[in-house]
Copies of this chain bind each other. A is one copy, B any other.
Amino acid sequence: MKETVLIVEDDAAMLRGLRDNFELEGYLVKVARTGKAAIEMAEATRPDLIVLDVMLPEVNGFEVCHYLREGGVEAPIILLTAKSREVDVVMGLKLGADDYVTKPFSIRELLARADAFLRRRREKEREIFEFGNCRLDVAAHVFTKDRAEVKLSPKQFELLHYLAANTGRVLTRERLLQEVWGADRLVTPRSVDRFVTTLRQQVEEDPHHPRWIETVREFGYKFTG
């Protein structure tokens, strides 16, 4: 899935240049020509990154920046400032911008910084589930309890992963079989029970009185965040 960048720029020529370059890099580009439009667009499309010119008609970039953050927009914001006046930079950063580039700038540099932010974000998104003193790192395929690694078998790991990914939801045995074991696999629903048992012995403090993996009689199991 393409990542979305919102470009806020009133100058047509500059806008075109930016748009072309970002599209060439594989981004889905949204544009806004005024502060107002930018704020509306950001609320509506929730872009992954915002490139914001400070010099805008009506509402200037600093204010846009401020409103965006007030409105809960958490995407990284890169400011385009005409002059490298320190006050601009400081103010921009204070108002919630994450980085800035001063005109005239190399488009390469801007793209590089954009990429850096998105990469950082992707790294952050490494699926990690934490509960109690346990921690499930999907990318590294490591489960730790009390900071010590606990070995889980492949199915155990997948089951715990699926449970944790559906925290608070009751999952039937059939559903678990389908999602963890695979649709075509024909396996007794009772197998789920056994796996839950062994999982509890590895995850729970007291496997007989589980804190995390609850059994819902007649229905299935539930992971309690």
Contact = CB atoms under 8 A, between A and B. Distances in A.
A139 B169 CA distance: 5
Which of under 10, 10 to 19, 20 to 34, or 35 or more describes the interface residues of A?
20 to 34
A89 interface: yes
Given A93-B67, A153-B217, A140 B113 contact: no
Chain A facing B: main interface SS: mixed
Given A71-B89, A90-B67, A102-B43, A219 B141 contact: yes
Copies of this chain per assembly: 2
A141 B216 contact: yes
A95 B218 CA distance: 48
A219 B67 CA distance: 45
Interface string A14-39: 00000000000000000000001001
The 4 closest A-B pairs by CB, nearest first: A154-B218, A141-B170, A70-B93, A72-B99
